[in-house]
A and B are shown apart, each in its own frame.
Chain A
């Protein structure tokens, strides 16, 4: 019979700590998750279906998807481009650049929305010019897309930069020595190496893009059926005391969150080493 290593904690200590952790996670994380689904289906399945299929809810779902379809690929491309510049080259001011890329991550979502209102709103810098040309940014789709791009800006870059840095430049240099062009090198050598990290970043970006509330709330104008994304629509229903419907729509987003978590975990499990640091 092999006894455990002498440096292992005694069983009672381990069990207590694990139990405390389980209890903490259960209260902090599981409880809210359970509450969403519990409230969503409290009035039964037909009521749930009705809430989801209601025209304003449908419009909100479509808007959310549209915003995500625009914002996510854009930030994905940006993330790849920025990571290539930062990870495969040396230049002064690199640390500053990376900090700037990180900036949206630490700015309050409300401030993120505010800056676009100040730029494109009626009283903003470009406000009068936009009005002249009858272009609507704030209180319309473009504003929502911009605000979403702002808040999800860093995700892909943050994921790829450390990954590409840890993978080094050897393979790219080898490819070049064999006569490959820059584009070929990227496509055949770099991209396959970063694909799982990229997917990971895209997952996170998408989750945030669809769920963003604060920034979009400021720029959207809350026009029912037109400029309400799902989170805003949830707020609307909630403030109307239509709790069951609010939670019904919320359950869709919660379901998306769960799918995101599952995919994320699967990615980490299968390709953990190809995703590198899981920092913040």
Chain B
């Protein structure tokens, strides 16, 4: 699934968060949106997701114009920074939620849904924890559940908003590895937002460095560290 963002802009209360930004994300790549706070990276992610509308510009998924398509119909997987798990549902119920709300025609039957949950629990290394409640899990475990939940519907691509921000260093390392493995296994186009340089460089195929609503440079880790395009990028990489 390729994603094309064409000259998208967004302003909040007079402050311009995204300025005529364009970026193309080829199928199957793992892209990091990297930048300081206020650079617009989360705004961009949310616009791609459909959680916010741009003021101008177009979004295309595989050449299909989805700019005005509601988030429910974009079939994306979104992982929130603070997990946003449904507290009153078990892990298993959280994961199948995306399947439970499908229209009857498309909804898999109960046996298939259960199998999918087991499959995902195994994928994120949470086998056997299906009946637990989020409150009974650690932060790292909760984030895995959030990931599994986002993947349940076989989304077209995966969006992650600073997914490891709320976790400690060791757990972060583990989850980084897990995320990369899952990406490679599924070949799913993924975009994740981070302000952590090291993380972006370690995980992503391509990195887009954002500053004040614009993309300063977009390329592979080697490209960027080898030849920083602007003053800002050079400073940011220090």
Do A2 and B11 touch (CB < 8 A)? yes
Stretch at the interface among A3-11, A163-171, A201-209, A245-253: A3-11
Q: Does A1 contact B (CB under 8 A)?
A: yes
Do B55 and A2 touch (CB < 8 A)? yes
> Which residues does B use to contact A, with CB under 8 Å?
10-11, 50-53, 55, 70-71
A7 to B52 Cα, complex, angstroms: 8
Do B11 and A6 touch (CB < 8 A)? no
A171 to B17 Cα, complex, angstroms: 40
State the Cβ distance, B18 to closest chain A Cβ, in Å.
12
> Which residues does A use to contact B, with CB under 8 Å?
1-7
**Known A2-B10, A6-B70; 17 more pairs at CB < 8 Å:** A1-B55, A2-B11, A2-B53, A2-B55, A3-B53, A3-B55, A4-B53, A5-B51, A5-B52, A5-B53, A6-B50, A6-B51, A6-B52, A6-B53, A6-B71, A7-B51, A7-B71
Chain B contacts for A5, CB-based, 8 A: 51-53
Highest count of chain B CB atoms <10 Å: which of A3, A4, A6, A7? A6
A1 to B11 Cα, complex, angstroms: 9
State the Cβ distance, B214 to closest chain A Cβ, in Å.
19
State the Cβ distance, A119 to closest chain B Cβ, in Å.
47
Chain B contacts for A3, CB-based, 8 A: 53, 55
Highest count of chain B CB atoms <10 Å: which of A1, A4, A5? A5
Would you list 16 pairs from A and B whose C-beta atoms are within 8 A, ordered by A residue?
Answer: A1-B55, A2-B11, A2-B53, A2-B55, A3-B55, A4-B53, A5-B51, A5-B52, A5-B53, A6-B50, A6-B51, A6-B52, A6-B53, A6-B71, A7-B51, A7-B71
4 nearest CB pairs, A to B = A3-B53, A2-B55, A6-B71, A6-B70
Instruction: Report the nearest B residue to A3, measured CB to CB.
Output: B53
Instruction: Report the nearest A residue to B55, measured CB to CB.
Output: A2
Instruction: Report the nearest A residue to B71, measured CB to CB.
Output: A6
Instruction: Report the nearest B residue to A5, measured CB to CB.
Output: B52
